[in-house]
Structure 1
Amino acid sequence: MTTPLTDPLDLLDLRSSLSDTERDIQSTVAGFLADRVRPSVPEWFDSGTFPRELVPELGKLGLLGMHLQGYGCAGTSAVEYGLACMELEAVDSGLRSFVSVQGSLSMFSVWRFGSEEQKQEWLPRLAAGQAIGCFGLTEPDHGSDPAHMRTRAVRDGGDWILNGTKMWITNGGIADVATVWAQTDSGIRGFLVPRGTPGFTTRDIKNKLSLRASVTSELILDDVRLPDSARLPLAEGLRGPLSCLNEARYGILFGAVGAARDSLQAALEYATTRIQFGRPIGAFQLTQQKLTDRALSVNTSALLALHLGRLKDAGTLRPEQISVGKLNNVREAIATARECRTILGGSGITTEYSPLRHSANLESVLTYEGTSEIHLLTVGRKLTGLSAFTG
């Protein structure tokens, strides 16, 4: 009997293509999550709670804004950050979502577009997990079309008055500071809105069937007065928030591989130990076909993620290439999670096993940071030179 693989990515020996540092970071993150987080995830998912007490521990491990330089950030490579996202989402998409929003949206918006005073005030605290950030772009009526957002900021002397609503905001209900994007007379601009600012309130979204171990909220701005020092001075136009989204999308295309890999690992373990008709179900041809198809998907998705990570570290990664990664890897991860659930049979509908939880979470991942349709049309525009976004 051949020894079975404990890690589906061993099929192509992908770890051999990583540096010692990359392997060490991946192993460190995986070990921390196995000991501290994984045992409690089913309970958090079932109860719909996010473990806020974990945030300082994530900061201590260097996971918050880990790919940013200075201000208490770890300054890792893009591949190292991607591998951390892979391990985070292998445990739960909600956990990776928290880290992505904290580092690639909230912190990156300040790091890339903020003043030195804003960076000094917020980045060290966010990196340490002493403060939590969120990113307010999506609105109830403008998800895929942020250019027509209704949130507006109007000058009033030396201040700004903000009015509007943001929706589906990860971390919103627990954030100490929100990066809020608004229309102004001179185009879209970003503002830092601290919790406690008069007129700024949040409302958590309940009854979720996906990303249950994550906080998703509505941001409400009712005549919120901010000084001009709250404006991100280097963010002009829609390019500002879209560049932040590309940072988050990059983490997703690695994270989705983690969810798929974990689903396949659960199915492999079950298939080699579950006895039916006098033999392990993994010995049946139909089960081996499912496992092989999904292993091919997980391994090719991981290869794509690593390739795009190398491009990002080389400074040559293009937005449409990120769209290729998110579109393919999330789509394949959902297919993998669903197929692996079928191998688990009835046992697969409980929180004892991860594939159905991953499948439910990935429905949100498929939608946020650009729906699959948006990424498909982004790639189509690059292929044809023709835009399908406008009439």
Structure 2
Amino acid sequence: MNNQIHQKTVSLVAALLAVGMAVLGLGLSALPASAEEIPDAEITLSTSSIVTRQWDQVNLTCEWSVPDNSQPGDTFTLQLPPELRWFGAATFDLDTPDGQRVATATANDAGQVVFTLTDFVALHPLNVGGTCSFVTQYSVDPAIGGTKELSFVFGDSVVRVPVSIEPCTENCLPEVPTTAGKSMWWADPAQSELQSILYMPPMASANNDVVVTDVPAAGMVIDCSRVTPRVGKVRGEAGNIVEPYDNEQYPATIECTPQSLKVSWTGLPQGEHVELFVMTKVSDPSLDVYENNGTVTISGEENQVGAQMRRSHASGTGQGTAAATPIPSTSTSTSPATPIPSTSSPAVVVLPAEPTEPAWTKTPAPSATAEQLANTGAQGQAFFFLAAALLAVGSLLAFAGARKHRHRSH
């Protein structure tokens, strides 16, 4: 009796294990293939930019490709050289002409750009590749002219790109301004802030009142905590006022809101230079062009000033080819067609040509490696086999228990 109960228990445990293995197998078979770094991706880079000073823009273009049958989620990585820093939007798409996304690219603050394939490559696994273009800044002072070779790290390899360096050697200092004006530039690589300077010629008379207004256009707001007025007689190499400043002697009066700024000085003597630095934040990042206008009034004479800055964009293209699909044969008979005899010449029987093997069947499919099987649901199949084996063991034990019980009952 105890032996019969024991066999029933074993068979029940085996059946439960079989069900659990089957469920686990279903789950594993449904898992997608794991994403990985693409070791054989290829990229070429080029630039026609000429660097003359630090923070000049270096525009780069590329052509990229990945091996056939790369998977969605697979990546390849490009690391900028230390001479360059990323400049512009942190992410961009690489699309087909009809707008299908083939890959996305994401750049971080350290200058690493990661390209990630999308689901597009699952249906178009062949000839996957495209182009890209992006903007960087030359982050070091180019003291020596010539050709500089920049080294980009791409996966396990290095891509070297020459760039022309032509630093200024004669008459490099900016001239003293003769009229009021305004300049503006991006203050950060992410292009979320703009800095501008309103400048003017040195004071021409013995006593001068100066009023500067600044009004940003839509998409920008003034950061009132970062408005910097400067007064002084000494100009540096960049053409701006440098220490010693005369700010305490001729203090500025500042009236600021996010939408407008007014700064005024009174009693500025002849020969004093005046500058106003203004930081604005981007409130609408969707715009391509940002504009900032204002006025500079010196001793009652008003001058209109303005500046605009265009956002730089990174972009790319992608493409891929769908795998060939075999066309099934529609023939249902192997007998040759009956020829129709000609009435003017002896009958000639034309037999159908021997069927040939389609070209797509002549290339043997690559055998799956253990790692591929591990990533494509092979675990699920293995668990199904194990479940079937356990179910069979349970059935045999139950059958044996039933026979023994019948034998004892007789």
Q: Could you say which structure has the greater relative contact order, defined with CA pairs below 8 angstroms and 6 or more residues apart?
A: 2
Task: Answer with 1 or 2: which has the greater Rg.
Answer: 2
Give the TM-score taking structure 1 as reference length: 0.22
Higher strand share: 2
Give the TM-score normalised by structure 2: 0.21
